[in-house]
C-alpha cells in the first residue's frame, strides 16, 4: 500500500513538473506547479519531515504560488494568449537538460552512499526549533534581516512612480 | 523502492526539468517557475540526506532557509517583472535586454 502511494505521489510530481515547463498557457503552468508542490509535500511525508510538509504547503502553495498567479494575471494580455511561450533554444535546452540528467544519474548510481537506518521521530518541530535557537541562531537572524530587506525592496520596486 | 537513491533520482529529474524550463521559456514568470522547481529539487535532496544520514535535523533547517530565500526571491522578482511590464508592455525576457529605455 505504501509503495503504491509512493508511486502515485512520485508520478504526480514528475508529470506535473513536465506540465509546468511544456504547457502553452501560462496559467496552466501555474496550476501544474500547484500539483508539483503538493507532490513534493507528499515526498516530505515519506521522508518523515512533518514540519517541512506544513511549511511547504503554507509558504509555497499558500504564498509563492498565489504571488505567481497574481503576477500572471497582472501582466497577461488577452491578445497575446496564443503567442508561443518558448524561445529559439528548445534544441540546446533539451540537450543540456538531458545531459545533466544522465550525468546526475550516473553519479547517483555509481556512488556508494553512506546510509544508516534510524527510527521515526515522534515530532520534528522541537528539534528544529532547538537547532534554530542554538546552532543556527546567526543564520536565523541573518535571514530575518534579508526577509525585511526583500519586503521593503519589493514594495518600493512595485510602486507606480519611483 | 523507498531508498535514498530513489529520492536522489526524483530530485535529479526535477532539477533537469527546471533547467529546461529556465532555458526555453520566453516569459519572465515562467522562468521563475523553473527556478522554483530547481530549488524544490535541492530541498528534496537535503531532506532525503537528513533522513538517511541518521535523522540529522541540520538538513531540515537548511531546507527551511531555502524556502525562505525562495519566498524573498519570488517577491522581488515579481516586482521587477511588473516594472518591466509597465515600461516595455511585455514580459518577454529576450526583449528586456537594456538597463534603460
- A1-76: in CATH 1.10.260.40: no
Lowest mean pLDDT, pick from A79-93, A100-114, B51-65? A79-93
User: What percent of chain A has a predicted confidence (pLDDT) above 90?
Assistant: 61
Task: For residue A118, list chain B residues with Cβ-Cβ distance below 8 A.
Answer: 51, 54-55
pLDDT for residue A87: 73
Task: For residue B87, list chain A residues with Cβ-Cβ distance below 8 A.
Answer: none
Is A84 in Cβ contact with B33 (below 8 Å)? no
Cell (9 digits) for B11: 530530485
pLDDT for residue A152: 93
Is B76 in Cβ contact with A75 (below 8 Å)? no
**ipTM of this predicted structure:** 0.90
Is B74 in Cβ contact with A64 (below 8 Å)? yes
CB atoms within 10 A of CB A131: 18
pLDDT for residue A84: 67
* DSSP-H helix ranges across B1-101: 4-24, 28-52, 58-88
Q: Are A154 and B43 in contact (CB under 8 A)?
A: no
pLDDT for residue A122: 84
Residue B99: inside a domain: no
Q: Give the distance from residue B47's alpha carbon to the nearest chain A alpha carbon, in angstroms.
A: 7
pLDDT for residue A79: 55
Q: How many domains does chain B have?
A: 1
Residue B96: inside a domain: no
Residue B81 belongs to domain spanning: 4-88
Q: How confident is the model at residue A144 (pLDDT cuts 50, 70, 90)?
A: very high
**pLDDT of chain B along its 101 residues, tens only?**
568 899 999 999 999 999 999 999 888 899 999 999 999 999 999 999 999 988 889 999 999 999 999 999 999 999 988 888 888 887 888 787 777 66
Residue B45: inside a domain: yes
DSSP states of A77-134? -GGGTTS--B-TTHHHHHHHHHHHHHHHHHHHHHS----B--PPPS-SHHHHHHHHHT
DSSP code, position B30:
H
Residue B24: inside a domain: yes
Residue B97: inside a domain: no
Domain with residue B68: its CATH number is 1.10.287.3510
Amino acid at each position: 500500500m505504501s509503495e503504491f502511494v509512493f508511486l502515485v505521489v512520485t508520478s504526480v510530481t514528475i508529470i506535473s513538473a513536465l506540465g509546468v515547463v511544456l504547457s502553452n498557457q501560462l496559467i496552466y503552468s501555474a496550476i501544474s506547479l500547484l500539483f508539483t508542490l503538493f507532490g513534493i509535500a507528499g515526498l516530505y511525508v515519506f521522508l518523515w519531515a512533518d514540519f517541512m510538509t506544513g511549511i511547504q504547503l503554507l509558504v509555497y502553495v499558500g504564498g509563492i504560488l498565489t504571488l505567481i498567479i497574481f503576477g500572471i494575471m497582472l501582466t497577461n494580455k488577452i491578445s497575446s494568449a496564443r503567442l508561443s511561450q518558448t524561445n529559439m533554444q528548445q534544441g540546446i535546452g533539451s540537450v543540456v537538460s538531458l545531459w545533466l540528467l544522465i550525468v546526475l544519474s550516473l553519479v547517483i548510481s555509481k556512488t556508494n552512499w553512506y546510509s544508516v537506518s534510524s527510527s521515526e521521530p515522534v515530532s520534528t518541530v522541537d528539534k528544529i526549533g532547538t537547532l534554530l535557537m542554538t546552532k543556527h541562531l546567526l543564520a536565523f537572524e541573518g535571514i530575518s534581516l534579508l526577509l525585511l530587506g526583500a519586503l521593503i525592496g519589493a514594495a518600493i520596486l512595485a510602486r507606480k512612480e519611483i | 523502492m523507498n531508498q535514498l537513491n530513489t529520492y536522489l533520482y526524483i530530485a535529479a529529474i526535477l532539477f533537469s526539468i527546471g533547467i529546461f524550463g529556465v532555458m526555453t521559456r520566453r516569459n519572465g514568470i515562467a522562468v521563475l517557475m523553473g527556478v522554483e522547481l530547481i530549488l524544490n529539487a535541492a530541498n528534496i535532496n537535503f531532506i532525503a540526506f537528513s533522513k538517511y544520514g541518521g535523522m540529522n535535523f541540520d538538513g531540515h533547517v537548511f531546507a527551511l532557509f531555502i524556502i525562505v530565500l525562495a519566498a524573498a526571491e519570488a517577491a522581488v522578482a515579481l516586482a521587477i517583472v511588473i516594472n518591466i511590464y509597465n515600461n516595455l508592455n511585455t514580459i518577454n525576457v529576450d526583449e528586456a535586454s537594456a538597463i534603460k529605455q
